[in-house]
Amino acid sequence: MEYTTLGRSDLKVSRVCLGTMTFGTQNSEADAHRQLDFALAQGVNFIDTAEMYSVPPNAESYGKSEVHVGNWLKRQARDRIILATKISGPGRSLNWIRNGDLAFNRKNIRAAIEGSLARLQTDYVDLYQLHWPDRNTPIFGQYQFDPARERHFVPIEETLTALAELVTEGRVRYVGLSNETPWGVMQFLHLAQQHGLPRVVSVQNACNLLNRTWEMGLAEIGFRENVALLAYSPLGFGLLSGKYLADPQASGRLTLFRGFAQRYSKPNVQPAVAAYAELARRHGKTPTRLALAFVASRNFVASTIIGATTIEQLRENIDGCAGTLSDEIVQEIEALHLRYCNPAP
């Protein structure tokens, strides 16, 4: 396993991060603990969760992933684990979380971290992330900014000030963003520098063969400002494994939770998936290994967040992130990218 320093922090994270959003719905607690044990044995020291998980989000599954991780974590040497979690934001119908009051203000941030720490059975998290922006932005399959959807949002400086208190108190070591835009990242960086507030060290955004939007603006910011990308959904909700090509009704999130992934229901997604799968097989690789090796090998990706429902999938995902791609394969990927440019933004 390779390790890297996360942005301008002192966190040494594995280049593979275990995502946990299946824990509590698709995976039982016993399943979750087997996955965590296996990942740790493979050198994975980076675990990512969220108060909203498991998914799809609902009142019954709220917080279950953190509970499952917490029951495992209490048996581990805490300083061996880099633990990340996220606070849910406004703009979505999550009325079971703080009665739907999800603005990133001091009251809600403190309530959220207290809940997460209790479920995780720890005194601190290494990385605390804003799951999506407080303000109006196109996320989770939306791809056009719509001024008509403007709403009041907590000023970023106020949010950073509340997070600064948690850092000072030792409850949070570093802060990060998720599902953010170039404007948002630069605002957080500018205000942190201007007011002496915590500087974000990472952004957790979708990144895969179907969604390379990071490269269109955020890649330069990440490079020049040393802000790490934590790449989630490297297999595009399982589509890039190719399993749905052979069996459209194969068991997975797309068939279990229909309507949950609007990002991957757009017109050019299926042709792109078929093209990448054909490329992989022509070069003697599985579609899964091609997709994971591509994401993990990008120079702007600090860690690739993988998820699985079985140990067999987890083993292939960890191995896939360590794979290499020849120059010839990368050139063919680029040619397909120009033909099917970001079909699932």
pLDDT at 226: 98
Q: Which amino acid is at 228?
A: A
The full set of domains in the chain, from first to last, is 3-238+294-324 (3.20.20.100)
pLDDT at 74: 97
- 262, pLDDT greater than 90: no
- 260, pLDDT greater than 80: no
pLDDT digits (tens, 9 = 90+) for 186-242: 999 999 999 999 999 999 999 999 999 999 999 999 999 999 999 999 999 999 999
Residue 208, token pair as written in the block: 């895969």
- Where does residue 77 fall: left (phi above 0), alpha (psi -120 to 50 degrees), or beta otherwise? beta
Backbone phi and psi for residue 5, each to the nearest 5 degrees, phi listed first: -90, 130
Report the percentage of the chain scoring pLDDT > 90. Answer: 93
Q: What is the DSSP string of 275-300?
A: HHHHHHHHTT--HHHHHHHHHHTSTT
Residue 61, token pair as written in the block: 């599954």
pLDDT at 178: 98
pLDDT at 248: 87
pLDDT at 67: 98
pLDDT at 311: 97
The Cα–Cα gap between 211 and 202 comes to 18
Establish how many alpha carbons lie within 13 A of residue 4's alpha carbon, considering only the half-sphere containing its beta carbon: 20
Closest-CA residue to 232 (of 63, 22, 17): 17
- 258, pLDDT greater than 80: no
Alpha helices (H) along the chain: 29-41, 64-73, 106-120, 156-169, 182-195, 218-225, 243-246, 253-256, 269-282, 287-296, 311-321, 327-339
Catalytic annotation, residues: 53
pLDDT digits (tens, 9 = 90+) for 49-93: 999 999 999 999 999 999 999 999 999 999 999 999 999 999 999
- 259, pLDDT greater than 80: no
Closest-CA residue to 100 (of 166, 92, 289): 92
Helices (H) and strands (E) in the chain, counts: 12, 10
Q: What is the mean pLDDT of the chain?
A: 96
Q: How confident is the model at residue 278 (pLDDT cuts 50, 70, 90)?
A: very high
Whether 302 and 228 have beta carbons less than 8 Å apart is answered as yes
